[in-house]
Structure 1
Amino acid sequence: MAAVLISALAMTLIVGLRYLATSGFFAWLTQRVRPGLYAKLGPQMRREVYWSLLSAGIYGIPAGIVAWGWQNIGWTRIYSDINAWPVWYLPLSVLLYLFAHDSWFYWTHRWMHTPRLFRIAHAVHHDSRPPTAWAAMSFHPWEALTGAVVIPALVFLIPIHIGALGFVLFLMTLMGITNHMGWEMFPRFMVHGRLGKWLITATHHQKHHDAYRGNYGLYFRFWDRLCGTDLGLGSFDGKRRGDPVGG
């Protein structure tokens, strides 16, 4: 039991430090590329850091339990031998995890926009107006819990190499931060081209923070397009629109 607790505490520390390092880097980059964008948002950013570090503790607990189990019992489907599965399965496993995570995120996120759950939990995230690079993990604990369980659950269901899992976590962190930092870092040809019709970047997610209804996905626009909740691309004009308790 003590070993499991230590593992959970260690993962909480790792998640917290990863958040501070990555969000801190992109906040610094924003100051360099878009000087003054966060100039009047000091109190808001302090709230974002507070909620995000609280979320880090919630994310760290299931991650620590899974990490301990993988190392000591082997009860997950994470593998370290590159030859355990065919090489072609490596990118496929990444896509499977991203699609499964995106599907979970879309439906739980949409659920969080029902009026009652929005007021109880999701309003914390939308209090960031506009969101900044510090807002990616700025969640109420109830919402953080819905996000904390998905990857730990998937490692029991879908085989994945430890390196591929690390890449999934890297993409999760990158997309979470860059989608919230208030400007578009990816090139126009990607955002407005064929790739942008299916991938989510800050320009797409900004529309969600402007209008509240729609654009619920994390990585892909698949579910939004299929379910009629794709609102198209937003802008970074600083205007806030929409009803904060959209369905």
Structure 2
Amino acid sequence: MLTTPNIIPSSIIVRLFILLFFQFILSNFIERLWNLIYTNEMMRSTLFYTTTNNLLMVILYGLFCVVDKMSNPDWRLKGPIKSSVADSSLYGDAWLYFWRNTGCSWTIASLLTYLEHGDLHGGFTIQGIEFSKFPKQAPGFPRFIMEILFMLLCIDFFMYWMHRAYHWGFLYKYIHSVHHEYHEPISVNATSVHVVEIISMTVVVFIVPKVLYEMIELHPLSIYCISFITTVHVVLEHCGYDDYFEWLTFGVIPVSKMHFVHHQLSRVNYGFYFYFWDWLFGTKMSYEEMDKLRQKGKKEN
């Protein structure tokens, strides 16, 4: 009996179907969200924007704390180098860092807005886009996605080189080494960083979208969502579980595995959102490549 060749793998068909369904849901959500922001002054304030973003992080942290306690330890990624922080203090230390750095990031965002506009509203969130420049219509789904990806790629370029700089000499010793106490990170370690790092990251995420807006007039909603996307990504990036979240994105947006390798080996995978710049500048290493190096080292010993 002749069989039809499987030209398109079933997993790709399933993912495409999910993406189409996601597009339908997100298109309606985008329009409703923009109507809320456009008509509600409170939602355009720095206080609301940063508080909501931090609340999202608390919810995600709480969910992963429950998952960490209830899940099978074998589900977690493992590496040859163990965290230098005792398991008993992992969560306590991480939450202390979170509350301290949350206050710091809110203060910096508010200060930047105040310096530019003389108040904490700034016309629109922390990027300070004036309300008079708001379009009444929400962006279409393709435009929204393309603008988000473009901004993330641009921010990622600066984050890549800033992250790489933090691995040099005294910057690593006195600042970035705080984050690298966690060689096998959990989600709440995402904000376990030095206050200087929080300030520098806040400034980059504030300035890059603002500059891009002035250059090519991105839709304000796309800029509004960047910080929330960053929050979700940075929590998933440190969750320490296999890349279940990468399946839907066709591996375009790495989540946990690649950053886990960075925490193990330090000198690879500096990318923040993507690993395009790592690939371009020769610092990309997959989890499988790290595992091969580990197995090779065992054989040589």
Provide the TM-score with structure 2 as the length reference. Answer: 0.64
1:52 maps to a residue whose letter is F
The answer to whether 1:70 aligns with 2:70 is no
Q: Offset of 1:129 from its aligned partner?
A: 3.2
Aligned with 1:25 (options 63, 86, 92): 63
Which residue of structure 1 lines up, in the alignment, with residue 278 of structure 2? 224
Query: Equivalent residue for 1:163?
Result: 221
Compared CA separation, residues 235 and 43, structure 1 to 2 (3 A) = farther
CA contact (8 A) 2:57 2:235 kept: no
Question: Partners of 2:64 and 2:239 in 1: how far apart?
Answer: 8
Residue 42 (structure 2) aligns with: none
- Structure 2 residue identity aligned to 1:178: L
The structure with the largest helix share of the pair is: 2
Percent of aligned pairs with the same amino acid? 24
Tell me the residue number matched to 1:245: none
Structure 2 partner of 1:4: none
Aligned-residue offset at 1:121:
0.5
User: CA, structure 1 residues 235+80, in 2 after alignment: closer, same or farther (shift >3 Å)?
Assistant: farther
**Structure 1 stretch displaced more, 85-94 or 109-118:** 85-94
* Alignment map for 1:69-218 (pairs within 5 Å): 69-71=122-124, 75-76=128-129, 80-83=134-137, 88-157=142-211, 158=213, 159-186=217-244, 195-196=250-251, 198-218=252-272
Cα RMSD of the aligned pairs, angstroms, is: 3.3
| Matching of residue 41 in structure 1 with residue 79 in structure 2 | no
Read off the aligned partner of 2:154 and give its amino acid letter. A
Query: 1:178 Cα deviation (Å)?
Result: 1.0
Shift of residue 14, structure 1, vs aligned partner: 4.2
Q: Conserved in 2, the CA contact under 8 Å of 1:210 and 1:234?
A: no
1:75-131 Cα deviation digits (max 9, x unpaired): 527864353877753222212211122112111101100121011100111112321
Task: Give yes or no for contact 1:217–1:223 (8 Å, CA) kept in 2.
Answer: yes
- 8 Å CA contact 1:12–1:61 kept in 2: the answer is no
Q: Distance in 1 between matches of 2:138 and 2:240?
A: 42
Who is 2:22 aligned against? none
Paired residues, number:
226
Match for residue 7 of structure 2? none
Q: Is the 8 A contact 2:122 2:130 kept in 1?
A: no
More moved, 102-111 vs 24-33: 24-33
Deviations 1:144-183 (A, max 9, x none): 1111112221342224434323432232112101111111
Q: Which has the larger radius of gyration?
A: 2
Q: Which residue of 2 aligns with 1:244?
A: none
